[in-house]
């Protein structure tokens, strides 16, 4: 890159949208029930305003997705084929057609409360679709996060951070510096926002398959606010600070180790659809400082994105992609996992091998604790519910900490990852979940014994 001269307008075109994006997605705002970010506040406002209507809206969107999928697969209409966005949205492999249909069936049954109660109860389908359920939250989060995501992606902020932080992110985690923004957005906002960010950058050629898989499964962390809800659920709200420091330590250690072992280490370093990679922040040209090169790259990126109509078009594509591409999968896989967790002893059975391990680690009430170890794969809040009645504070602390650091739960992040373009399949998620469980369990128990 030859050093260029830029006008004041060029600088403002980078600075103003980027500052707005940082404010919306990253700046923590104290609230009565904890710390959150402006995007989450906007999401909460919309939920309070139209929350009772959202289950019907989401059901309609899921059913519409199935109809569009069948029309596209059967008739290949020219109107859809001419739009790469809608063609990719509806022309999915057969397995995802089945999953979308299952999601639509679950949604209709839950909305109208028809069929077996174990499908639509408040502990299964209702947990996802009711007015305070996950899909209601995702509806509003996806609307605002998707619409304003171009503020982070299109105006140079990631180019600047990519140049500045590659020296930290690459040796520690095998990731480019721009991935630090994904992590911050997850940590302060929600894991779903991190997945949305990562998926978009992967599709655009800024992350390789390996990098996208690592970020999606390792940095889509639970927000600070929801972590407070979890520790309060097990009656240990006074321990929030040591709890969150424990979660951070366990999460950092697993983030360093997991990218270096299969399945993540075996993901190819190639780009989506065979395209050329666009991240040029790894090597700084001669004559530039790391900041200078990052800042100039940011100005060039901002200069190339000066269309207001394109900004909103990109934003609405993000929204529709998540509403229609992801919501049916979350409904199908999340409901199935919750049905299994609530109505069968499956997770108790598969938790039994952990009893001797927990006893070896001197965790009190090991048998009861084992029942909650793997149920987090269905939903990350279930371990706190299952373990809330355990007497030992140490054991409840371990259960709460583990549920947050496991990260992969099918009712939200797991379903989102499977519905995105990020190259992980169900088998990958199971293996990574188990790896995180074993790895973080040792770290968490060690710290817990020092606290209690």
What does the alpha-carbon distance between residue 203 and residue 195 come to, in Å, rounded to a whole number?
12
DSSP code for 82: T
Predicted confidence at residue 284, as pLDDT, reads 81
Q: For 171-217, how does the pLDDT look when each residue is reduced to its tens digit (9 = 90+)?
A: 989 898 888 888 777 766 567 778 888 998 999 899 999 999 999 99
| Alpha-carbon distance values, 141 to 93, 128, 135 (Å) | 27, 14, 9
**Stretch 66-81: mean pLDDT, rounded?**
92
Q: For 104-127, how does the pLDDT look when each residue is reduced to its tens digit (9 = 90+)?
A: 999 999 999 999 999 999 888 998
Domain map of the chain by residue range? 7-451
329-342 burial, b at 16+ Cβ within 10 Å, e below that, comes to bbbbbbbbbbbbbb
Predicted confidence at residue 428, as pLDDT, reads 96
Determine which of 105-114, 241-250, 405-414, 420-429 has the lowest per-residue pLDDT on average: 405-414
Q: For 334-369, how does the pLDDT look when each residue is reduced to its tens digit (9 = 90+)?
A: 888 889 888 999 988 999 999 999 999 999 999 999
DSSP code for 234: T
Burial of 388 (0-12, 13-18, 19+ CB in 10 A): middle
Predicted confidence at residue 1, as pLDDT, reads 52
Predicted confidence at residue 158, as pLDDT, reads 82
Stated pTM of the model = 0.76
Determine which of 154-168, 180-194, 307-321 has the lowest per-residue pLDDT on average: 180-194
Q: For 301-311, how does the pLDDT look when each residue is reduced to its tens digit (9 = 90+)?
A: 898 887 888 88
Find, among 49, 46, 43, the residue nearest to 145 by Cα.
43
- Of 6-15, 29-38, 424-433, the range with the highest mean pLDDT is 424-433
3-state SS, one letter per residue, for 273-290: HHCCCCCCCCCCCCCCCH
Q: For 26-47, how does the pLDDT look when each residue is reduced to its tens digit (9 = 90+)?
A: 787 877 766 677 887 888 889 8
> 382 or 294, which is more confident?
294
Looking at every residue in the chain, the average pLDDT score rounds to: 87
What does the alpha-carbon distance between residue 330 and residue 403 come to, in Å, rounded to a whole number?
19
What does the alpha-carbon distance between residue 88 and residue 414 come to, in Å, rounded to a whole number?
21
> 149 or 75, which is more confident?
75
């Amino acid at each position: 890159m030859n050093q260029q001269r830029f006008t004041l307008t060029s600088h403002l075109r980078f600075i103003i949208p980027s500052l707005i994006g940082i404010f919306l997605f990253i700046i923590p705002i104290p609230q009565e029930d904890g710390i959150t970010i402006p995007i989450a506040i906007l999401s909460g406002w919309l939920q309070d305003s139209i929350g009772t209507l959202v289950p019907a809206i989401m059901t309609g969107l899921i059913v519409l997705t199935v109809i569009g999928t069948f029309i596209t697969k059967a008739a290949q209409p020219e109107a859809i084929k001419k739009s790469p966005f809608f063609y990719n949205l509806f022309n999915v492999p057969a397995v995802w057609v089945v999953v979308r249909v299952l999601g639509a069936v679950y949604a209709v049954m839950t909305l109208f409360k028809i069929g077996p109660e174990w499908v639509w109860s408040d502990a299964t389908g209702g947990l996802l679709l009711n007015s305070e359920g996950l899909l209601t939250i995702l509806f509003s989060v996806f609307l605002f996060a998707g619409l304003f995501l171009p503020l982070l992606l299109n105006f140079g902020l990631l180019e600047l951070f990519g140049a500045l932080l590659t020296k930290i992110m690459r040796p520690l985690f095998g990731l480019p510096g721009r991935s630090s923004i994904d992590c911050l957005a997850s940590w302060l906002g929600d894991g779903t926002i991190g997945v949305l960010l990562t998926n978009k950058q992967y599709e655009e050629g800024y992350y390789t398959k390996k990098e996208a898989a690592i970020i999606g499964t390792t940095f889509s962390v639970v927000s600070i606010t929801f972590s407070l809800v979890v520790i309060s659920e097990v009656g240990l709200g006074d321990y929030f600070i040591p709890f969150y420091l424990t979660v951070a330590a366990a999460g950092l250690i697993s983030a360093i180790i997991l990218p270096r072992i299969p399945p993540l280490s075996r993901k190819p370093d190639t780009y989506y659809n065979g395209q050329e990679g666009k991240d040029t922040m790894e090597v700084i040209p001669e004559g530039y400082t790391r900041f200078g090169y990052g800042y100039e790259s940011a100005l060039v990126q901002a200069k190339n994105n000066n269309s207001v109509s394109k900004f909103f078009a990109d934003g609405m594509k993000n929204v529709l992609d998540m509403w229609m591409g992801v919501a049916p999968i979350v409904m199908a896989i999340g409901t199935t996992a919750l049905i299994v967790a609530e109505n069968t002893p499956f997770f108790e059975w598969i938790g039994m091998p952990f009893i001797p391990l927990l006893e070896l680690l001197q965790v009190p009430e090991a048998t009861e604790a084992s029942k909650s170890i793997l149920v987090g794969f269905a939903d990350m809040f279930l371990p706190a519910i299952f373990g809330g009645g355990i007497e030992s504070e140490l054991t409840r602390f371990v259960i709460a900490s583990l549920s947050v650091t496991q990260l992969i739960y099918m009712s939200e992040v797991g379903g989102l990852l499977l519905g995105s373009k990020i190259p992980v399949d169900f088998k990958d998620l199971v293996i990574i979940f188990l790896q995180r469980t074993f790895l973080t369990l040792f770290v968490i128990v060690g710290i817990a014994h020092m606290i209690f």
